[in-house]
Amino acid sequence: MQRRLLQQVLSARRLSNLSIGPSLFTPSTHYSLRQSSQTPFLQQLENPNQPSSQISIDRSALFNPSEHSHEPSTDSELIKHLKGIIKFRGGPISIAEYMEEVLTNPKAGFYINRDVFGADGDFITSPEVSQMFGEMVGVWAMCLWEQMGQPDKVNLVELGPGRGTLMADLLRGASKFEKFTKSLHIHMVECSPTLQKLQRHNLRCADEDTNGSDVDQSIISNLAGTPVSWHATLEQVPSGLPTIIVGHEFYDALPVHQFQRASRGWCEKMVDVAEDSSFRLVLSLQPTPATLYLMKRCKWDATEEITKLDHIEVCPKAIELTHTIAKRISSDGGGALIIDYGLNGIVTDSLQAIRKHKFVDILDNPGSADLSAYVDFASIRHSAEEASVDVSVHGPITQSQFLGSLGINFRIEALLQNCTDEQAESLRAGYWQLVGDGEAPFWDGPDEKTPIGMGTRYMAMAIVNKKQGIPIPFQ
């Protein structure tokens, strides 16, 4: 099953976790150290000659741990870490902080230590569904490179490349266009050491040890003889060359803040530890720092729309990333392609968790399920336009329109000319998943394997330097 299918089901389940009330911020299960109301400490300060034996400590409010037990704790390292942050912070953390820790904590984050993709993993993405996806993105990149005047040197950056399948298919598909492939230096922006290794393998790179933080180090991909480097962030990719950036299902992994309208106004949803030591959602009592982003986001939409809403999600990291992309493109030339699932407007309550292809509660066993949220494409547009007057923003258009205009129909016909029956079935199923809408009408295999089309749920948006004109196929 592809990601995000049962969104509506999950939101109902998540809300059952939400408790609202003034006592919600009481860190009742936390250590609490207070000075006595008899102020012995103050007395000592006023009278420094008083012997220290006179100091008394009121221990009544101290946390009393339960009897020491040898029962093994079932909490994972990540759960202990999250509870530790909440305990020592003395209160709940934002959903965004929770999401960031769950996905990318350097020791135990969901993406950090394993391959989460495919039938044996937790979810499947378009590049894994069909080689045609990466090939069509390659067609888009080549067209933009043409519009850029075929520069001799180009940085091709992929944000969050997963297994590296999209880039591998792009390079294989483009390998006949040597002038293009020879111009490329590939930069993979990836936080996971495990996925970096897998990407290196899938790009057929020589088996050398790279250090993701060393921006000058690169190795050659044998797929098209192109140098490849790895980086933890886009900022680390060297600037100064025309740049093409691709981000597929990267924005949806960026941490979101969730707000809910309450009688006292907009409150941020936060993650706390309940009496029984499980995680629970609570509402902030006061405005939180992320409220500034809520206000910024609301300014970009008509007030009447906002007044109808009870929930709003905002993603400051998406705004910051878009600023970085727009500034890079305005200074170096080129463009960016963002493909993701989402809305062309305010997103209300979309955060979801997927483990082993099934939706689960976002607070259940954090680190063992993927967390992702709808991408707010309107906010990407506003952020890019705010960052630079030299860039133009195009779309979003549906993935179906995007791939159709780039010629996926011709590509599947060519592939079907020369394949086995089994491959043909897989190609048709993959094609439908990429461009179709809902269940495939032609399917006569087992019901549970019916291909579900995601062609209208996923959208494509481009940000380009105005010098390049309007990118294909956004005219």
List the structure tokens of 76: 């994972």
Q: Is 294 in the site for ligand SAM (CB under 6 A)?
A: no
* Cα dihedral 35→40→45→46 (10° resolution): 130
**Pairing label, strands 265-273, 257-262:** antiparallel
Distance of CA 197 to the CA centre of its chain: 20
Mark 108-127 with x for binding to ligand SAM (rule: CB under 6 A) and - for no binding. Answer: ---x-----x-------x-x
Q: Is the peptide bond before 227 cis (omega within 30 degrees of 0)?
A: no
Q: How is residue 133 written in tokens? A: 């996806």
The enclosing H or E element of 278 equals none
Residue 189 touches ligand SAM, criterion: CB under 6 A: yes
Residue 187 found at the interface with ligand SAM (CB under 6 A) = no
- Is residue 161 a contact point for ligand SAM (CB under 6 A)? yes
Q: CB of 102: closest distance to ligand SAM in angstroms? A: 11
Two tokens at 90?
């003395």
Question: Least separation, in Å, of the C-beta of 276 and ligand SAM?
Answer: 31
Shortest approach of ligand SAM to residue 434 CB, angstroms? Answer: 12
Phi, psi angles (nearest 5°) of residue 427: -65, -45
Residue bearing tokens 């300060």: 45
Contact flag: residue 405 with ligand SAM (CB under 6 A): no
- Contact pattern for ligand SAM over residues 70 through 109, marking x by CB under 6 A: ---------------------------------xx-----
Stretch that binds ligand SAM, among 243-251, 283-291, 445-453, 465-473 (CB under 6 A): 243-251
Minimum CB separation of residue 162 from ligand SAM in Å reads: 3
Compute φ and ψ for 352, nearest 5 degrees: -145, 160
Taking CB under 6 A as the binding criterion, the range among 159-167, 175-183, 375-383, 456-464 that sits at the site for ligand SAM is 159-167
By beta carbon distance, the residue nearest ligand SAM is: 160
Binding part of the chain for ligand SAM, among 74-82, 183-191, 304-312, 398-406 by CB under 6 A, reads 183-191
- What are the tokens at 447? 């019901």
Secondary structure (3-state) at 53: helix
Tell me if 250 contacts ligand SAM by CB under 6 A.
yes
| Number of other CB atoms surrounding residue 415 within 10 Å | 18
Total residues at the site for ligand SAM (CB under 6 A)?
19
Tokens of 46: 């006023």
Residue 231 binds ligand SAM (CB under 6 A) = no
Closest separation between CB of residue 360 and ligand SAM, Å?
A: 16
Residue 202 interacts with ligand SAM (CB under 6 A): yes or no: no
Q: Residue 173, Cβ neighbours under 10 Å: how many?
A: 21
Cα–Cα distance measured from residue 234 to residue 245, given in angstroms and rounded to the nearest whole number: 10
Residue 178 or 320: which CB sits closer to ligand SAM?
Answer: 320
Contact 251, 380 (CB under 8 A): yes
Candidates 70-78, 90-98, 154-162, 172-180; binding stretch for ligand SAM (CB under 6 A): 154-162
Residue 70 CA from chain centroid, whole number: 39
162 binds ligand SAM (CB under 6 A): yes
Residue 247 structure tokens: 């981000």
Min dist CB 388 to ligand SAM, Å, is 22
The DSSP annotation for 88-111 comes to HHTS-EEHHHHHHHHHH-TTT-TT
Kindly state whether residue 342 participates in binding ligand SAM, applying the rule CB under 6 A: no
Stretch near ligand SAM under the rule CB under 6 A, chosen from 55-63, 188-196, 403-411, 461-469: 188-196
Residue 468: name the closest of 320, 324, 336 by CA: 336
Q: Which positions touch ligand SAM (CB under 6 A)?
A: 103-104, 111, 117, 125, 127-128, 160-162, 189-192, 195, 248-250, 253
